[in-house]
Amino acid sequence: MFDAKGTILGGATVAWFAICIAGLIGWVLNIAKIFQTGFTLAEWTGFEVGRVIGVFFPPIGAVLGWF
21 domain residue, yes or no: no
Instruction: Kindly state whether residue 34 falls inside one of the protein's structural domains.
Output: yes
Q: Does 66 reside within a domain?
A: yes
Domain that holds residue 31: 26-67
Taking each helix axis as running N to C, give the angle between helix 4-37 and helix 46-56, from 0 to 180 degrees, rounded to the nearest 10: 130
In tens digits, what is the pLDDT along the chain, a chain of 67 residues? Answer: 566 666 777 788 899 999 999 999 999 999 999 898 877 777 778 888 899 999 999 999 999 999 8
Distances (CA, A) of 9 to 12, 65, 67: 5, 29, 31
Q: Is residue 8 part of a domain?
A: no
Residue 13 belongs to some domain of the structure? no
pLDDT score at 44: 79
Output the pLDDT for position 7: 73
Residue 18 in domain: no
* Number of domains the chain contains: 1
The pLDDT value recorded for residue 2 is 61
C-alpha 7/C-alpha 26 separation (Å) is 28
